[in-house]
Amino acid sequence: MRDVPNEVYDRFVEACHDVDRRGLLRCSCGNLSLRVDAARMLITATGSWMGKLTREQVAVCRIADGAVLNGRKPSSEVGFHAGILRSRADVNAVLHFQTPFATALACRPADAIDYAVIPEIPFYVGPVARVPYLLPGSAELAAAVTEAMREHDMVIMANHGQVTVGADLDRAIQNAEFFELACQVVLINGPSLTTLPPEAIQQIGALRAGTGRRGV
């Protein structure tokens, strides 16, 4: 099996630094993966700080089962990263992030939240899924997130954080940014919040479908 090109490592490491610069995580929380080819992916190593990530802290894993290929222990969440890449051919990047406003809402009851407050949510992010709290790094969490992501581009893990995807690294990061903005709007407005009207969501959803924007 041929080596991963240096430019792929460089792009991945820079994306990790970008995620940190944007405030999408804290210290060692959060993880990122990138499809290299049909069989392999890059993923941040366990315990690594994405803002300080080096090439030596990047694990190469097999998408089929998450097995390590370069001797570096991956994030404990390798299960859902590999699962999403197996089940979504349109996805090449998976980002688990923990931003303040979005994570605050992940600690609220799901039925009390409508995230469609700005057009970017129905257009770029689409419907938002939610899974119950499950032990981080567990097979149960990996299975739940993988299943939820089959039909969604954003999954909230209750009392934990968020997972989003994209056709490339920039698009996954963009989803996280837009979602955090929407969650900030929700929390700042409180009970006076006005969401997009249903007809607007339908119109934007039709535009999203017309562009084939699921996963991109």
Q: Which residues are catalytic?
A: 77
Token pair 């992010």: residue: 125
Q: Are strands 40-44 and 58-62 parallel, antiparallel or unpaired?
A: antiparallel
Rg (CA), the chain: 17
Beta bridge pairs of residue 156: 130, 162
| Phi, psi at 35, each rounded to 5° | -70, 130
- HSE on the CB side for 162, CA within 13 Å? 29
Q: Bridge partners of 131? A: 157
The amino acid that residue 160 corresponds to is H
